[in-house]
Structure 1
Amino acid sequence: MGVEVIAKPFETKLSAAVLKKAYCEWGEDEERRQQVIEIIRQWVAQQPHLQRTRIDDHGIICFARGCKYSLEKMKTKMDLMFTLRTALPEFFSGWDPLKPEIQAALACGSFLPLPDYDQHGRKVIIMRPGCYDPFNFKPEDIEKASFMISDVMVKDDEQLFVTGMVIVYDCQGFTLNHFTQRPLSLTKKHMYYLQSAPLSPKTIHFIRTNSVFQTIHSAMSALVNDKMKQRLKVHGPEMQSLYQDIDRKILPKDYGGEGKSLAELTDIWKKKVEENRDFLMETEKNLRVDESRRLGKAKTAQDIFGIEGSFRKLNVD
């Protein structure tokens, strides 16, 4: 079976200012975009284990920008991302937004990209690990909902791969039960997956922290390298220092901002995911590898993750 590529000409939707930034940083122009698309298509076609993988031009360009147009880095990250999507069914299987458990997880609002960019042009994503009852929800379902929202976001957003993104980690409602009910192995796998992504957050802001925060902070710090640790910023219960980093005009009303409320954002993203049901269910099937056809030794989940606790730390560019 030959590799399936969506033969759709790539047309960038970026503004002139953002395109200028891409050109200044990586020499990106129409010719270079087309060159990298053709090179990666040819490379994918030569990989037996990727023959069932479908990736469109938009996906290739997202990787190119996230990897600063380094072809070798693109190949490594693409292979790793598709491999992990295959090896992590707890995150990347059962992607039907209409399943009751996914509907319930989406209604929690644990992963909420803001519709506007901050004053630096960056995408801002709100993460809320304490927004659900840890005894009534499986953390795997919360993660699935978050990854589904992320894929829908990436499908419709080019700019974040040029200007970057920041994460606001809202700790309100997070209890020790959230921590103990979530297997550490799940957190480790989640962090491991992040290293395959073509884009890392510029900063992770912790807000509305509570007495359990130190446990979260210590656990996360143990899984990342020194470069990422430097990107973690703790604001505590007050918001003034956050406003210095992110324009309050785009922040939710819940944070003293002028943007849509968390409840409104939750409804918006739930509907977006439902509207993209076909896309998500196709993505679940198509962004995978066939390990039986990999040149050399096939990669199993045990090969990737090893014995419990032997994960590598997150690599950040």
Structure 2
Amino acid sequence: MVRVLSPELAEIARNELSEHPKRLQDDLQHLKDWISKQPHLKARTDDQWLVGILRGCKHSLERVKKKLDLYYTLKITAPDVTLRMKPTDPKFLDFLRLGTCVILPKAKELYPRVLLIRAGRYDPSTHHVIDIMCLLYYLIQILLVEDDTATVVGIKIATDYEGVSLKHFSQATPTTLKKMIAVCQDSMPFRLKGSHHVNIPAGIEKIFTLIRGLLNQKARDRLRIHKNNEELLQHLPREIVPAEYGGDGGTLNEIIEAWANKIIEYKQWFKEEEGFGTDESKRPGKAQTASEMFGVGVDGSFRKLDID
């Protein structure tokens, strides 16, 4: 069963995403039939899951098929991102509680859901930047299934670089960045409504240039850099911003614990998720490999950059 949208969300879905309730069941059945005929693909077929992907692709069935195939292919070709930490493992919750990545509370008015990333919160001698992407990968799945605001209105990303050092940046090799962007930008079916960056260390222009080059045009156009937290606050509803940033959205610890409980609630969902993916030996045509998708084996790093 698919949840019925509020009148306000239904209007946005109709006008911006070409969603028509009378056609929705036919589209869902079409996708389920298509999935069943793909010998290499073992994919989730829950109605609400597929509806979320349909919305992210503006109900283009061909785009949905490509997105679904890529999403499950990356579980095989980029397991160091998608499977680095499993939500059913206690260390997943330990990393979540560091506060490197969290989804902020929902605004009272219709507004994109906001993901706050704080890479400086982890110790690069014990964790890796990919851990953040793995955490984000699973949090996003929950949003896709249960949050109609996120699937219809979209998401924004706010990244705070406070505490980020050269050791953090040196982990972001070109191949790593390609994998992370493939997982986050290319396979996740969300409408990115903006990305905001604050407290950026001096001397990372080269990294930002590389990242911009890997983003699609919409993501580049919606990237904003802010001088300080006060300037960032001007672009987000105060009611969802954590108290630590001058907002009224509760403390970060409160927000993080709410998501820790949500991860526990979805334990069975994530166990089921471990069974989905692709069998490249059965793919019609040429099998997908990590070396072809990401150029694995030809890599570099940012170790020589000077960061203040």
The one-letter code of the counterpart of 2:212 is: S
The correspondence for 2:150, drawn from 139, 160, 175, is: 160
Instruction: Determine the C-alpha separation between the residues in 1 that align with 2:133 and 2:218.
Output: 25
Alpha-carbon spacing, 1:97–1:192, altered in 2? closer, same or farther (3 Å): closer
Which structure 2 residues correspond to residues 204-219 of structure 1 after superposition, within 5 A? 204-211=195-202, 214=205, 216-219=207-210
Aligned residues: 298
Q: Per-residue deviation at 1:139?
A: 3.3
What's 2:223 paired with?
232
Structure 2 gap ranges (5+): 300-308
Q: Does 2:185 correspond to 1:190?
A: no
Q: 1:34-53 alignment to 2 at 5 Å?
A: 34-50=25-41, 52-53=42-43
Counterpart in the other structure of 2:8: 17
1:129-144 superposed matches below 5 A: 129-144=119-134
Alignment counterpart, residue 253 of structure 2, candidates 256, 263, 269: 263
RMSD: 2.2
Distance change in 2, residues 1:249/1:26 (3 Å): closer
Q: Distance in 2 between matches of 1:301 and 1:110?
A: 27
- Post-superposition, which runs of at least 4 consecutive aligned residues in structure 1 deviate over 4 A? 307-310
Say yes or no: does 1:179 pair with 2:160. Answer: no
Q: C-alpha deviations, 1:226-261, integer Å up to 9, x for none?
A: 43221110111242x333322112111111110022
Residue aligning to 1:149:
139
8 A Cα contact 1:49 1:294, kept in partner: yes
Map of 1:202 onto structure 2: 193
Determine what percentage of the aligned residue pairs are the same residue.
Answer: 31
Partners in 2 of 1:181 and 1:71 — Cα distance?
37
Q: Distance in 2 between matches of 1:118 and 1:25?
A: 21
Classify the secondary structure of the residue corresponding to 1:133. coil
| Stretch deviating more after TM superposition (298-307 or 196-205) | 298-307
What is the CA distance between 1:153 and its match in structure 2?
2.6
Distance 1:156 1:213 in 2: 37
CA deviation digits over 1:107-154, x for unaligned, max 9?
212221112137552111111111111112233434322322222232
User: In the alignment, is the contact (CA less than 8 A) between 1:14 and 1:159 conserved in 2?
Assistant: no
Is 1:291 matched up with 2:291? Answer: no
SS in 2 for 1:116: coil
The amino acid that maps onto 2:295 is G
Q: What's 1:127 paired with?
A: 117
Per the alignment, in what secondary structure is the counterpart of residue 202 of structure 1?
strand
Query: In structure 1, how many angstroms separate the alpha carbons of the residues matched to 2:191 and 2:20?
Result: 23
Contact 1:118 1:247 in 2 (8 A): no
Residue in 2 that maps onto 1:249 = 239
**Counterpart residue identity of residue 218, structure 1:** T
Taking the aligned partners of 2:203 and 2:238, their CA distance within structure 1 comes to 26
Residues in 1 aligned to 2:191 and 2:2: alpha-carbon distance in whole angstroms: 24
Secondary structure of 1:280's counterpart equals helix
Does 2:69 match 1:73? Answer: no
Unpaired runs of 5+ residues, structure 1, are 1-9, 311-317
* 1:104 lines up with 2:94 in the alignment: yes
Deviation at 1:104, TM superposition (A): 2.5
Partner secondary structure for residue 154 of structure 1: helix
CA 1:76–1:266: 2 relative to 1, 3 Å: same
Corresponding residue for residue 52 of structure 2: 62
CA–CA distance in structure 2, aligned partners of residues 264 and 65 of structure 1? 30
Q: How many angstroms does 1:105 deviate by?
A: 1.3
